[in-house]
Amino acid sequence: MHCFFPFLQTTARSEGFNAVLKRYVNPQNSIYNFFLQYKKIQEKITVATDQNEFEAEETIPSMWANYPMKTKALEVYTRPIFNRFQKELIASTSYKLTRTSENMYLVEPNGGPVRNYGSRTFILAANVLDRIYNCECCKFERDGILWCHVLKVMASDFVGQVSDIPEHYILPRWTMVKEPELPPVTSIGEQMQLPPESLKLISYTNLCTKFTQIAKDASSNEKAYRMALQRMSSMTDDLAAMKQSRKKQKKAQPAPADPARGVSDIPSASTNPTLQINDPPIIQKQGRPVSTRRKPGVHAKASKTSVRKGLASTGK
């Protein structure tokens, strides 16, 4: 009751995930097919998340009644959580409220059972100054949203008809978090400290995108096509000259020397003609030779002695 398992029963967590897996995989799948199907599950969850974000930003839900706290809930909650909050607000009309003491209230159904709560009567404690509410159902501890019993108390004349949702009852995980705006990036090197291979890949991708757009525009007519070929030919010559210049610079640079040992101390065949470098000694491989390996029993041929003994035992 006091553990955070949002909108799940005791066994629904494992059973729900097993039901999802059974729709996509079966025990006969290979490891490769299992990963492909698991990727489809991830894509389905991502599509559902994008759909919820689109509905929250571009559509307006059907509003039930005109409660001030519903406007606050619509601003902060995601669409699925807002729908659940609205159901709790509707369920609050199925209860009647009785004040038993200064901060204690008795919440009981008007007539028949209430969905998800049954016909049970609940006792709720309310601290009006601090706006803290405690109920026997432990709905907020388990699901993280305001429940129908406290909404009934907040909208009653005893408390003073609270018009907004207390901040400490809004969990960040149920809200629409806006991503912070990143500063504009003027060059690739200013993005972050990336390894050279990653920077090379980013540069290659950017150039491919730009050249693809140039090719699309240049192929529209003959004049633009010839101009693009001329510029590309000139660019190719410049890049070849730049590449050749870099090769010459690398050859002109001295080879890096070992700080612990000078270059002149390293013997070589050119500086020492008497130095001979021979092949390493040949070592015989360990283990049984391939030609004399043991054969399985199904491939072994029966000897003549064993055949004679077998015929003698059968009396033939």
Is residue 106 predicted with pLDDT exceeding 80? Answer: yes
How confident is the model over 165-178, as pLDDT tens digits?
888 888 888 887 65
Is residue 180 predicted with pLDDT exceeding 60? Answer: no
Q: Which residue has the tokens 């039901």?
A: 19
Q: What is the pTM of this model?
A: 0.47
pLDDT of residue 59: 76
Is residue 23 predicted with pLDDT exceeding 80? Answer: yes
How confident is the model over 259-293, as pLDDT tens digits?
445 444 545 555 555 567 777 787 777 776 666 55
Structural domain boundaries of the chain? 12-58, 68-174, 208-236
How buried is residue 39: exposed, middle or buried, by Cβ count under 10 Å (0-12/13-18/19+)?
Answer: exposed
pLDDT of residue 102: 81
Task: Round to whole Å and give the CA distance between 280 and 5.
Answer: 67
Task: Round to whole Å and give the CA distance between 151 and 173.
Answer: 21
